[in-house]
Amino acid sequence: MSAPPTVELLGVDVSHPSAPANILLEGVDWQIASGEFHVVAGEQGSGRTALLVAAAGLSRPAAGTVRLFGHDLAAASESEQAEWRQRIGFVFEHGGRLLSHLTVAENVALPLQYHLGLDAAEAHGRADALLDASGLSAFGAVTPSRLSVRLQQRASLVRALAVPKDVLFLDNPLSGTTARGGEWWLDVLRRLQAERPAGEPPLTIVATCDDFGPWLELATHFALIEGRHFRPLGGRAALTEGGDAAVRDFLSAVRWASRT
């Protein structure tokens, strides 16, 4: 393939965001091509969030190179970085970090107004339509603190995708969801990849999790955080054929028995 990977990490050392001296992962080598669906499993505190933030180009790694769309981030100018950032969506864990002083609809309208220059009426119209399509129209006019964390997380997804994106990063979106809530997320992600408008590059999805189970059907590539190392596992076959104890640790078959 002559096209460079959409996201590439070369020899990256990932450190804790608020303590740059504390290295969580060493020597991460990771290639994510366009249209792939990557899932990374790791314990809480293992550095999976920091890894995702580094891969999305939102933080500078302690060492190594991060490439987005084939371009080296560290060597790029502010305006170039801003351009690539606009093609990347990020959904944070634990409620998605919606802006607390704005309503949910205003949160979704913000990137529309800032990047696309839409006026208030048009932006809010589009935001309402997007929320409607996600079943969140009843919550558009309230501030995020009035919603449950799970609904905030969904609204955060809508906000991340308000302006069309080429890559979507999700930090443990299924944490704290019930089986039904998890279904919602998997259905939405499946539809997002399948219903891509013609002429647009395929959507690349990168997610972290603490259990591979729900992701077995959808994801194309799996990886594991073992201690301070990032270990790519390969495709679905690597998981369904058992694998070692570390892999099995992240495969809890009980919860998702009905899906297999």
Partner 1 sequence: MDAAASAPPSTGLLETTGRQILRGTELIRELGAFALIVLAVAVSRLGVGRRVIRPLVAGQIWSGGVRLLPMIGFLALALGLVIIGQTLALLTTVGAERYIGIVMVAVVVRELGPLLTAILVIARSGTSTVVELGTVRALGEIEALESLGIDPIHYLVVPRVIGLATAVFCLTMYFVVIALVGGWLFAFFRDVPLKPADYFGQLAANLRWEDFALLFLKTTLFGALIGVVSCYHGLARALRVEEVPRVTTRAVVESVVGCVLLDAAFLAGYVFA
Interface residues toward partner 1, by CB under 8 A: 17-18, 53, 56, 58, 78, 82, 85-86, 88-90, 92, 96-101, 110-111, 113-115, 117-120, 123, 159-160
Exposure string of 226-258, with b = 16+ CB inside 10 Å and e = fewer, is beeebeebeebebbeeebeeebebbbeeeebee
The nearer residue to partner 1, 92 or 250, going by C-beta atoms, is 92
- In whole angstroms, how close is the CB of 114 to partner 1 at the nearest point? 4
d(CA 127, CA 16): 34
DSSP result, 64-76: EEEEETTEESTTS
- 105 DSSP 8-state letter: H
CB 216 to partner 1: min, Å: 28
Comparing CB distances to partner 1, the nearer of 111 and 140 is 111
Least distance from C-beta 233 to partner 1, angstroms?
A: 27
Closer by beta carbon to partner 1, 2 or else 18: 18
> Shortest Cβ distance from residue 194 to partner 1 (Å)?
25
Of the two residues 84 and 228, which places its CB atom closer to partner 1 in the complex? 84
End-to-end CA distance of the chain: 33
Which residue in 52, 45, 57, 56 sits closest to 19, CA to CA?
45
For partner 1, which is the closer residue by CB, 99 or 129? 99
Helix axes 120-133, 104-116, angle to 10 degrees: 130
In angstroms, what is the minimal distance from the CB of 19 to partner 1? 11
For the chain, where are the alpha helices, taking DSSP H only?
48-55, 78-85, 104-116, 120-133, 149-160, 179-194, 236-240, 245-249
Q: Provide the minimum distance between the beta carbon of 162 and partner 1 in the complex, in angstroms, as a whole number.
A: 9
Whichever of 71 and 85 has its CB closer to partner 1, that residue is 85
Residue 36 and residue 218 in contact, taking contact as beta carbons nearer than 8 Å: no
Residue nearer to partner 1 on the CB measure, 97 or 196: 97
* Per-residue tokens: 237: 């076959």
Shortest distance (Å) from residue 61 CB to partner 1? 15
